[in-house]
């Protein structure tokens, strides 16, 4: 893999990005593994001056580090710095913004008197310091249009935002003291050990660079163009397939049609038959679910099970078979897991599913930043960079079984093909799950037909 490579190919070069096509932001993959660590200097050039997001990880998560940006003056007279600190005796790890004006650094805080206080609004949330998870990814966003510096952990999205500095616009008829920010061309990252300045100089490893700054969170619901309203856009509550990655568009167009449904003229009681098979101790669904109670490790857990009914074969472009019908009885759920950096589209065919989203797969980040319910006909999506870590649950205890179609595919630029979904076991260990099959779709449909016939005497 070259050190600079398109993560998602096929996006027109002339493509312009806006709130609507937030999902298509194509990052540049800077380094996928530690073998690149020595090939980077301590700064990354932005693709567009004054804006962009740098995402990276740490080789040594015990050491404080910082992101910083400067004016293009050789003396770096003006600048901003975000220092992310480690736990130290008597101190809690945190993040702190500094501003350098005319060569002098000053801590920026709302709650202290300072010469620059009136120029900024700033917040820092709990948990913004060095992360206990050594695999944690850190991101830093520069947005000179909206006059924002932002920082977070995990997926690059507003929901994972931990600290923000807003440098205020000047009063009318005043010069803008921050005009230099729109001309910034690089983000610096430095390891901040003053006593040992040369140790782990490249402790921060850049992973991806995004052309555009972080602005909004992408909508989770995908709706047909004819259904998208002006309110949907204004409230950022739904998107259309054209805003997804090219691979997600391909998947969506396979499963979003009106005829893609369970109950068809050749078997109009398919969903009833599945429900009956789950309810009856003699049913194939009942027995198969029971046999899976230890699939995700630990003590038998009959509720942490679901059925995977696959369509077709593994064609080498997805983790497991690309099209999987999943069956979730009431109360059943998956472990928290991720998706091998693949694209995915999920459509609900029957019942409803609740999706919890997490910033990363980590024992230390088990509070979902979003919980959304999807009903029959609803569609949601996963890209290599967004919505990767989730937990699915049929939370409708008194309702029907939930049946979803899930389809997965690697992006065109993905040559790694990590064919597992990693998940968190109940003891907090990360494990690999091989996306398997409980039955092929056609064989499963025939089984359900036979069970229905033997119990009710008619396939219709
Ligand atoms: Fe999943």
Could you tell me the distance, in angstroms and rounded to a whole number, from the CA of residue 96 to the centre of ligand 1?
35
Residues in the chain: 460
Could you tell me the distance, in angstroms and rounded to a whole number, from the CA of residue 250 to the centre of ligand 1?
18
Instruction: Write down the pLDDT at residue 194.
Output: 56
Determine the straight-line distance between the first and last CA of the chain, rounded to whole angstroms: 55
Give alpha helix (H) positions in 26-157.
none
Could you tell me the distance, in angstroms and rounded to a whole number, from the CA of residue 18 to the centre of ligand 1?
28
- Higher per-residue confidence, 110 vs 53: 53
Quote the DSSP letter at residue 86.
P
Could you tell me the distance, in angstroms and rounded to a whole number, from the CA of residue 433 to the centre of ligand 1?
11
Could you tell me the distance, in angstroms and rounded to a whole number, from the CA of residue 54 to the centre of ligand 1?
27
Could you tell me the distance, in angstroms and rounded to a whole number, from the CA of residue 155 to the centre of ligand 1?
16
Reported confidence tier of residue 7, pLDDT bands at 50, 70, 90: very low
Could you tell me the distance, in angstroms and rounded to a whole number, from the CA of residue 408 to the centre of ligand 1?
10
Strands 307-311 and 439-440 come out as parallel
Instruction: Write down the pLDDT at residue 458.
Output: 61
Separation of alpha carbons 333 and 330, rounded Å: 9
Could you tell me the distance, in angstroms and rounded to a whole number, from the CA of residue 390 to the centre of ligand 1?
6
The CATH architecture one would assign to domain 225-456 is Sandwich (2.60)
Residue with tokens 């998208």: 228
Q: Which of 433, 448, 122, 151 is nearest to 295 (CA)?
A: 433
Q: Which of 142, 101, 97 is nearest to 121 (CA)?
A: 97
Could you tell me the distance, in angstroms and rounded to a whole number, from the CA of residue 86 to the centre of ligand 1?
33
Instruction: Write down the pLDDT at residue 8.
Output: 30
Tell me what percent of the residues of the chain surpass a pLDDT of 90.
68
| Residue 133 half-sphere exposure toward CB, CA atoms < 13 A | 20
DSSP string covering 407-455, please?
Answer: EEE--TT-------EEEE-TTS-EEEE----SEEHHHHHHHHHHHHHHH
Burial 131-148 (b: 16+ CB within 10 A, else e): bebeebbbbbbbbbeebb
Reported confidence tier of residue 5, pLDDT bands at 50, 70, 90: very low
Could you tell me the distance, in angstroms and rounded to a whole number, from the CA of residue 346 to the centre of ligand 1?
9
**What's the token pair of residue 235?**
């409230």
Residue with tokens 């312009």: 16
Could you tell me the distance, in angstroms and rounded to a whole number, from the CA of residue 391 to the centre of ligand 1?
7
Could you tell me the distance, in angstroms and rounded to a whole number, from the CA of residue 380 to the centre of ligand 1?
11
Reported confidence tier of residue 258, pLDDT bands at 50, 70, 90: very high
Q: Is 397 exposed, middle or buried (0-12, 13-18, 19+ CB in 10 A)?
A: exposed
Could you tell me the distance, in angstroms and rounded to a whole number, from the CA of residue 291 to the centre of ligand 1?
20
Instruction: Write down the pLDDT at residue 4.
Output: 30
pLDDT digits over 56-114, tens only?
Answer: 999 866 678 899 999 987 778 899 999 998 877 667 789 999 999 888 889 998 766 66
Residue 41 near residue 201 (C-beta atoms within 8 A): no
Listing from the earlier edge strand, what are the strands of the sheet with 79-84? 43-45, 186-191, 65-70, 79-84, 95-101, 104-108
pLDDT digits over 203-218, tens only?
Answer: 788 999 999 999 989 9
**What's the token pair of residue 349?**
């065919």
DSSP string covering 239-266, please?
Answer: B-GGGS-HHHHHHHHHH-STT--S-BTT
- Whether residue 176 is predicted with pLDDT greater than 80 in this model: the reply is yes
Could you tell me the distance, in angstroms and rounded to a whole number, from the CA of residue 219 to the centre of ligand 1?
18
Q: What does CATH list as the number for 31-210? A: 2.60.120.200
Q: What angle do the packed helices 284-291 and 270-279 form, to 10 degrees?
A: 50
- Whether residue 20 is predicted with pLDDT greater than 90 in this model: the reply is no
Reported confidence tier of residue 3, pLDDT bands at 50, 70, 90: very low
- Whether residue 286 is predicted with pLDDT greater than 80 in this model: the reply is yes
Domains 31-210 and 225-456 share a fold: yes
Could you tell me the distance, in angstroms and rounded to a whole number, from the CA of residue 203 to the centre of ligand 1?
32
How far does CA 411 lie from the centroid of its chain?
Answer: 15
Mean pLDDT of all residues in 221-232: 95
Q: Which of 24, 23, 32 is nearest to 5 (CA)?
A: 32
E strand or H helix that includes residue 278: helix 270-279
Could you tell me the distance, in angstroms and rounded to a whole number, from the CA of residue 337 to the centre of ligand 1?
6
Could you tell me the distance, in angstroms and rounded to a whole number, from the CA of residue 392 to the centre of ligand 1?
7
Mean pLDDT of all residues in 232-245: 93
**What's the token pair of residue 380?**
């949601």
Total-model pTM: 0.88
Q: Using alpha carbons only, how large is the chain's radius of gyration in Å?
A: 25
Mean pLDDT of all residues in 106-132: 83
User: Among 35-44, 167-176, 357-366, 426-435, which stretch is predicted with the lowest mean pLDDT?
Assistant: 35-44
Mean pLDDT of all residues in 114-134: 86
Residue with tokens 């977070």: 152
pLDDT digits over 323-362, tens only?
Answer: 999 999 999 999 999 999 999 999 999 999 999 999 999 9
Mean pLDDT of all residues in 298-308: 94
| Residue 11 half-sphere exposure toward CB, CA atoms < 13 A | 22
Could you tell me the distance, in angstroms and rounded to a whole number, from the CA of residue 338 to the centre of ligand 1?
6
Could you tell me the distance, in angstroms and rounded to a whole number, from the CA of residue 253 to the centre of ligand 1?
19
Could you tell me the distance, in angstroms and rounded to a whole number, from the CA of residue 374 to the centre of ligand 1?
14
Instruction: Write down the pLDDT at residue 15.
Output: 25
Could you tell me the distance, in angstroms and rounded to a whole number, from the CA of residue 354 to the centre of ligand 1?
12
DSSP string covering 94-124, please?
Answer: -EEEEEEETTEEEEE-TTS--TTGGGEEEEE
Could you tell me the distance, in angstroms and rounded to a whole number, from the CA of residue 421 to the centre of ligand 1?
8
Residue 184 near residue 70 (C-beta atoms within 8 A): yes
Could you tell me the distance, in angstroms and rounded to a whole number, from the CA of residue 389 to the centre of ligand 1?
8
Instruction: Write down the pLDDT at residue 141.
Output: 98
Could you tell me the distance, in angstroms and rounded to a whole number, from the CA of residue 13 to the centre of ligand 1?
31
The percent helix, strand, coil of the chain (3-state, each to 5) is: 15, 30, 50
pLDDT digits over 369-391, tens only?
Answer: 999 999 999 999 999 999 999 99
For the chain, give every domain's residue range. 31-210, 225-456
**SS3 (DSSP) at 284:** helix
Could you tell me the distance, in angstroms and rounded to a whole number, from the CA of residue 423 to the centre of ligand 1?
10
Residue 389 near residue 331 (C-beta atoms within 8 A): no
**SS3 (DSSP) at 126:** coil
Separation of alpha carbons 366 and 361, rounded Å: 8
Reported confidence tier of residue 16, pLDDT bands at 50, 70, 90: very low
């Amino acid at each position: 893999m070259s050190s600079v490579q398109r993560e998602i190919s096929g996006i027109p070069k002339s493509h312009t990005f806006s709130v609507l096509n937030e999902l298509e932001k194509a990052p540049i993959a800077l380094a996928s593994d530690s073998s690149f660590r020595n090939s980077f200097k301590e700064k990354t050039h932005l693709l567009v001056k004054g804006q962009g997001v740098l995402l990276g990880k740490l080789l040594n998560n015990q050491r404080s580090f910082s992101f910083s940006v400067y004016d293009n003056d050789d003396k770096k007279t003006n600048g901003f710095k975000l220092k992310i600190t480690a736990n130290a005796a008597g101190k809690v790890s945190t993040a702190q913004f500094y501003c350098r004006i005319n060569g002098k650094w000053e801590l920026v805080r709302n709650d202290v008197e300072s010469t620059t206080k009136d120029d900024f609004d700033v917040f820092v949330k709990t948990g913004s310091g060095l992360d206990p998870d050594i695999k944690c990814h850190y991101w830093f966003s520069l947005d000179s249009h909206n006059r924002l510096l932002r920082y977070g952990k995990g997926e690059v999205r507003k929901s994972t935002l931990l600290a923000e500095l807003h440098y205020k616009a000047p009063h009318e008829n005043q010069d803008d003291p921050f005009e230099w920010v729109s001309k910034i061309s690089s983000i610096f990252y430095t390891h901040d050990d003053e006593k040992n300045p040369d140790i782990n100089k490249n402790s921060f490893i850049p992973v991806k660079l995004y052309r555009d700054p972080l602005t909004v969170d992408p909508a989770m619901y995908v709706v047909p163009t004819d259904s998208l309203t002006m309110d949907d856009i204004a409230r950022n509550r739904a998107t259309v397939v054209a805003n997804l990655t090219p691979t997600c568009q391909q998947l969506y167009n396979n499963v979003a049609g009106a005829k893609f449904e369970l109950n068809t003229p050749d078997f109009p009681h398919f969903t009833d038959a599945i429900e009956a098979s789950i309810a009856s101790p003699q049913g194939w669904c009942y027995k198969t679910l029971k046999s899976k109670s230890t699939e995700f490790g630990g003590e038998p857990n009959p509720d942490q099970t679901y059925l995977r009914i696959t369509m077709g074969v593994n064609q080498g472009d997805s983790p497991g078979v690309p099209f999987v019908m999943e069956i979730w009885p009431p109360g059943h759920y998956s472990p928290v897991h991720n998706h091998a950096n693949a694209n995915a589209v999920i459509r609900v065919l029957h019942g409803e599913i609740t999706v919890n989203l997490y910033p990363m797969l980590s024992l230390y980040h088990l509070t979902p930043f979003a919980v959304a319910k999807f009903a029959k006909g609803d569609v949601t999506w996963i890209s290599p960079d967004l919505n990767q870590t989730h937990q699915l649950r049929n939370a409708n205890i008194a309702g029907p079984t939930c049946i979803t179609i899930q389809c997965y595919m690697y992006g065109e630029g993905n040559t790694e093909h990590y064919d597992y979904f990693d998940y968190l076991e109940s003891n907090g260990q990360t494990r690999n799950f091989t996306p398997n099959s409980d039955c092929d779709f056609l064989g499963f449909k025939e089984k359900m037909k036979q069970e229905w016939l033997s119990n009710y005497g008619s396939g219709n």
